[in-house]
Amino acid sequence: MTDTRSGIEIRNLYKIFGQNPAKYVDRVKAGMTKEELNDKYNHVLGLQNINLDLAPGEISVIMGLSGSGKSTLIRHINGLIMPTAGEILYEGQDVVSMNPTELRHFRRLKTAMVFQKFGLLPHRTVLDNTCYGLDIQGLPRSKSEPIARRWIDRVGLSGFEDNFPNQLSGGMQQRVGLARALANDADILLMDEAFSALDPLIRMDMQKVLLDLQDELKKTIVFITHDLDEALRLGDSIAILRDGALEQVGTGQDIVLRPANDYIAEFVREVNRGRVIHADRLAQPLPPGAPLPELQLPGRLVLELVAREMTKANATQATILDRNGTPAGVIDIASILGAMVTPADAPAL
């Protein structure tokens, strides 16, 4: 069956904050910097010339340091913030040009949002919070409650349906937020620093919950974070923002192995490359006529796990398999160790 879902296309997007932002768009396009705009005209450049494709059925991570524009960008996708110039396209329609009725319909039926501070209603139980989006849509409780209970169970909160938010831990509250978003069955899931308020172990647990659900649901997820490790773990693609501009877009491997500039290189310098690079990236062509190593490992396995499996098997080489389970190349311990050194000394891959 052909996948007819639409991704999100962001085209030539600019956002200027101030009394008369449209007046200064052309000056920014002509090269005026963020500092000049602020110093001379008391306007703030939030986003500049963003062109980004967010693929359907994938987790697209948008990351950057505080003030980079990442939260501003995600709020453009569902029209909470309107751009000074540019387009946000979904199913061929520009969100920016939607009238109020169309925008309400888009927000209610096509998007759902998970917030950093959970955004739960304190006077509502877990069940009632999960039903909230369906209540807004006018769905009767006879239909909404079974849907809500299903998602409460899927996020691991069965038995807590009648609890109130103040009776739950932070991780449990975020599970409720996720269940509420999923109950809407929206195509697009927007997650703005959704796990950053959680303790590290709970945060990793929520990342796993999201990845497990995504394996089945294949939602179009836009995930905002300032944490590179989180971005590398979750993202099918990663876009890095700096001062409202895109610095680099690519897979985690692309960004770690081929940083676009010195800023990105510094950003990824301390990354554990063994947890990012996949075995198929290092695999050498199959030697013609030679016997293949007995140990066989999937190409999507990261180097750290490949090295662990090879050590357990007391093997210096392994056969790497493609997605169909067919031998695609050979990897050895020396190449793994070479790829796991610091970026400054690393070979080009």
Angle formed by the axes of helices 141-154 and 170-183, nearest 10°: 130
Task: Please answer whether residues 180 and 130 qualify as being in contact, where contact means their C-beta atoms are separated by less than 8 angstroms.
Answer: yes
Domain residue ranges of the chain, discontinuous segments joined by +:
55-82+98-273, 274-345
Q: How far apart are CA 38 and CA 28, in angstroms?
A: 11
pLDDT tier at 345, thresholds 50, 70, 90: very low
Q: How far apart are CA 267 and CA 249, in angstroms?
A: 14
The distance of Cα 116 from the centroid of its chain, to the nearest Å, equals 14
Residue 269: strand, helix, or coil: coil
Q: What is the pLDDT of residue 4?
A: 55
The CATH superfamily of 274-345 is CBS-domain (3.10.580.10)
pLDDT tens for each residue of 254-290: 999 889 999 999 888 888 888 888 999 889 998 788 8
Q: What is the pLDDT of residue 287?
A: 79
pLDDT tens for each residue of 109-124: 899 888 777 678 899 9
Reported as type and span, the H/E element at residue 16 is: strand 8-17
Residue 63: strand, helix, or coil: strand
pLDDT tier at 339, thresholds 50, 70, 90: confident
Could you count the other beta carbons within 10 Å of the beta carbon of residue 311? 11
Question: What is 55-82+98-273's CATH topology?
Answer: Rossmann fold (3.40.50)
Average pLDDT for 289-315: 91
- Is the pLDDT score of 73 beyond 70? yes
pLDDT tier at 14, thresholds 50, 70, 90: very high
